[in-house]
Amino acid sequence: MPDNGTPGQKASKTAASSNASGAGPAPAARAAPGAPTVLVVDDDDDIRAMLVRALGTKYTVYEARDGLEAREVIEGIPVPDAIVTDVMMPRLDGIAFAKLVRKEAALQRVPILFLTARGSPVDVITGINAGARHYVTKPFKIGDVLAKVATMIRKQPP
């Protein structure tokens, strides 16, 4: 995840392409041209699809099944305006992914929302220390997630 962008700019100029045009991953949902960008990372296909569908009414949404795939996706898309990620995932979990994101200068200010079944005080503190702005436990209300994402995007510095 190279440092060469601000929100709305490409996160990487050398990203591997995931679509036929070679322009990087295609969004899973696109609300309107110029809409803020959200990356959804969750290994549960049903939860990920629900989040993409709900967020896709207002945002351009990219998706990944785990932290490793999210690393690949994030290199080929505009710097996201927000990231929504599960914590418990195979290959690279959400905590490790968030720590990687926080190490990249271009991504340090991207707000992260953890969405997880782990809700103990220790888990919440671990998530916040890893870089989460919000921590939502499953089961969740989609309206709560949408409100937190909207708040995160509104509160980003220019």
Q: pLDDT at position 155, please?
A: 81
Length of the chain: 158
- Residue 106, amino acid: A
d(CA 96, CA 90): 11
Contact call for residues 7 and 35 (beta carbons, < 8 A):
no
Burial profile 79-112: b = 16 or more Cβ within 10 angstroms, e = fewer: bbbbbbbbbebeebbbbebbebbeebebbeebbb
Chain segment 26-65, per-residue pLDDT in tens: 999 988 889 999 999 999 999 999 999 999 999 999 999 9
CA end-to-end distance (rounded Å), the chain: 21
Domain locations in the chain as residue ranges = 37-154
Q: Which residue has the higher pLDDT, 23 or 66?
A: 66
Chain segment 81-130, per-residue pLDDT in tens: 999 999 999 999 999 999 999 999 999 999 999 998 888 899 999 999 99
pLDDT band at 157 (very low <50, low <70, confident <90, very high): low
For residue 145, give the 3-state DSSP assignment: helix
Contact call for residues 62 and 25 (beta carbons, < 8 A):
yes
Q: pLDDT at position 23, please?
A: 67
Q: pLDDT at position 118, please?
A: 87
List the CATH code of the domain at 37-154.
3.40.50.2300
CA 133, chain centre distance (Å): 12
pTM of the model: 0.83
d(CA 86, CA 127): 11
